[in-house]
């Protein structure tokens, strides 16, 4: 098999869905039994009955802020807040700290974060040398990509961050085939090399992450002989999705179940609609269930032209946590969801905050078929009850609000 990392990538969508849904009850039972946090979260749920996407929505979304709160509350007894199914010893090779701090375990298994699949899709092959410029300090980014490179059969130069001149010297001497790191640092390296008249002909491909890499930047790299592909992975979940040579969205990894939900809720949206990316990991070591990434994306229709049959997402489209302070009060997407939940005739809503500094104004735009003053008045009352603030209501025709995942739009002038 030369075109794909393994046979899982080309199985039929129906087979993949059936296999993942069949594995779901066992993973939930494992999480409930071996993770104190999920023993609590799943306390009143019959996990044996969670064997479909519809059933999965019965489980509440756990967001990163909640994970951090649980970790802080149990810091003296369990730094992982009850989420890890691993204990210190041979099964846990490392512990990492992400900003927060949030602590994450690394299981002692080959390619623990499953990044090998992404690197293979980016053209990395056995016997090549990878220049890894992700940080090797506290956070797991460098180790995620290093373990993936080893799974493909690559050798890794652990460059880490900074020391641009020394990194360029090493690149000249070692002649790496590929790069892993942020796109911004790769650009710095290539610009410095050009300024110094240093050719880097061996470097022809890269897997980048940690920040956005727009098409314009991808084109900039290509003009300089480097094909760059995006890898979407997190310290909590490992690989979530990855770009292929087709460059048509990001293909979902085989080890996750992904939903796109309306921000502030756990309600899935239709394919193509922008919402928050929620992931259920099938990793038994760190079994995160319906974990809200806080990132916006959308499911693309069809399958990847490369022959990979897993669903695809559009890529990173912004942050789902649009919490905004209005007249000194925080307003959350979940509050907008609570307002609209009271009115079945409302199909979609967007809270627009406008005005100048110290003169905030709120307008709740709602898509609804029924348009009358009674609905407006009831919605305005609900706004006051839920947010403790006054706001106007504008009813618009169905389908007229932008499909960008925004529940709260801050359109205020800060000049």
pLDDT bracket for residue 258 (50, 70, 90): very high
The answer to whether residues 125 and 142 touch, using CB atoms and an 8 Å cutoff, is no
DSSP-H helix ranges across 257-394: 333-341, 373-387
Q: How far apart are CA 162 and CA 308, in angstroms?
A: 36
- Max CA pair span of the chain: 74
Task: Say if CB 322 and CB 408 are below 8 A apart.
Answer: yes
Report the pLDDT averaged over residues 308-324. Answer: 89
Model confidence pLDDT, tens digit, residues 202-226: 999 999 998 889 899 999 999 999 9
User: What are the pLDDT digits (tens) for 121-174?
Assistant: 999 999 999 999 999 999 999 999 999 999 999 999 999 998 999 999 999 999
- What mean pLDDT comes out for the span 239-263? 97
DSSP conformation class of 267: P
Q: What percentage of the chain exceeds 70 in pLDDT?
A: 97
Task: From the options 3.40.50.10540, 3.40.50.450, 3.30.300.30, 3.30.2270.10, give the CATH code of 324-410.
Answer: 3.30.300.30
pLDDT digit string, tens, across residues 318-354: 888 788 878 777 788 889 999 999 998 898 999 999 9
* Predicted pLDDT at 369: 79
pLDDT surpassing 80 at residue 179? yes
Q: For 63-99, how does the pLDDT look when each residue is reduced to its tens digit (9 = 90+)?
A: 988 999 999 999 999 999 999 999 999 999 999 998 8
pLDDT tens track for 4-55 = 999 999 999 999 999 999 999 999 999 999 999 999 999 999 999 999 999 9
Starting at the edge strand that comes first in sequence, how are the strands of the sheet with 392-396 ordered?
A: 392-396, 361-368, 346-354, 408-410
Q: What is the pLDDT at residue 146?
A: 98
Q: What is the pLDDT of residue 414?
A: 55
Q: What is the DSSP letter of 270?
A: P
pLDDT higher than 60, residue 1: no
Give the pairing type, strands 178-181 and 205-208.
parallel
Judge whether 148 and 119 are in contact, CB under 8 Å. Answer: yes
Q: What is the mean pLDDT of residues 354-367?
A: 83
Entry pTM: 0.86
pLDDT band (50, 70, 90) for residue 282: very high
Specify the pLDDT at position 357.
Answer: 54
- pLDDT of 264: 86
Q: What percent of the chain has pLDDT over 90?
A: 80
- Please check whether residue 110 is in contact with residue 151, taking contact to mean a CB–CB distance below 8 angstroms: yes
Q: Which residues pair with 112 in a beta bridge?
A: none
> What homologous superfamily is domain 8-311 in, according to CATH?
ANL, N-terminal domain (3.40.50.12780)
- Rounded average pLDDT over 176-200: 96
In degrees to the nearest 10, what's the CA dihedral of 119, 17, 313, 103?
-60
Report which secondary-structure segment, H or E, holds 222.
helix 215-223
Burial 30-40 (b: 16+ CB within 10 A, else e): bbbebbbbbee
The CA–CA distances, whole Å, from 244 to 17, 75, 344 equal: 21, 40, 41
What is the number of other CB atoms lying within 10 angstroms of the CB of residue 234? 23
Contact 314, 298 (CB under 8 A): yes
Locus of tokens 């008045």: 377
Residue 202: Cβ within 10 Å count:
16
Element (H, E) at 325: strand 324-326
- Nearest-angstrom CA–CA distance, 269 and 256: 18
Q: Tokens representing 198?
A: 């240093």
Measured in residues, the chain has a length of: 415
DSSP code of 83?
-
User: How many DSSP H helices and E strands does the chain contain?
Assistant: 11, 21
DSSP type of residue 395:
E
Question: Structural domain boundaries of the chain?
Answer: 8-311, 324-410
Yes or no: say if 333 and 263 are a contact pair by the CB < 8 Å rule. Answer: yes
């Amino acid at each position: 098999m030369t075109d794909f990392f393994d046979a899982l990538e080309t199985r039929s969508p129906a087979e993949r869905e059936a296999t993942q849904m069949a594995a779901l009850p066992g993973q939930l039972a494992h999480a409930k039994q071996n993770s104190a946090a999920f023993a609590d979260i799943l306390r009143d749920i019959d996990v044996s009955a969670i064997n479909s996407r519809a059933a999965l929505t019965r489980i509440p979304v756990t967001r990163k802020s909640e994970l951090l709160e649980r970790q802080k509350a149990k810091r003296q007894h369990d730094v992982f807040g009850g989420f890890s199914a691993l204990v210190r010893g041979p099964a846990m090779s490392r512990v990492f700290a992400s900003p927060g701090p949030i602590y994450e375990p690394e299981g002692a298994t080959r390619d623990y974060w499953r990044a090998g699949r992404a690197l293979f899709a980016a053209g990395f092959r056995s016997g090549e040398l990878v220049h890894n410029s992700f940080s090797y300090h506290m956070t797991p980014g460098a180790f995620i990509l290093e373990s993936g490179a080893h799974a493909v059969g690559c050798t890794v130069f652990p460059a880490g961050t900074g020391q641009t001149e020394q990194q360029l010297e090493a690149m000249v001497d070692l002649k790496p085939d590929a790069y892993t790191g942020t796109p911004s640092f790769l650009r710095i390296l290539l610009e410095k090399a050009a300024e110094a008249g240093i050719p880097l002909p061996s470097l022809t491909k890269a897997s980048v992450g940690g920040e956005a890499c727009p098409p314009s930047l991808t084109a900039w790299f290509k003009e300089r002989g480097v094909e760059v592909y995006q890898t979407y992975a997190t310290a909590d979940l490992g690989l979530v999705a990855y770009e292929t040579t087709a460059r048509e969205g990001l293909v979902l990894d085989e080890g996750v179940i992904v939903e796109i939900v309306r921000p502030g809720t756990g309600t899935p949206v239709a394919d193509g609609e922008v919402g928050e990316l929620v992931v259920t990991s099938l990793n038994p070591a760190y079994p995160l269930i319906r974990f809200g990434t806080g990132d916006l994306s959308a499911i693309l229709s069809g399958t990847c032209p490369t022959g990979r049959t897993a669903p695809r997402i559009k890529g990173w489209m912004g942050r789902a946590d649009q919490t905004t302070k209005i007249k000194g009060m925080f307003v959350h997407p979940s509050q907008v969801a609570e307002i609209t939940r009271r009115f079945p005739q409302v199909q979609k809503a967007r809270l627009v905050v406008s005005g100048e500094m110290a003169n905030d104004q709120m307008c709740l735009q709602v898509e609804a078929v029924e348009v009358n003053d009674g609905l407006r008045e009831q919605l305005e009352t609900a706004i006051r009850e839920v947010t403790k603030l006054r706001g106007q209501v504008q009813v618009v025709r169905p389908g007229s609000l932008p499909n960008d995942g925004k529940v709260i739009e801050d359109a205020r002038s800060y000049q």
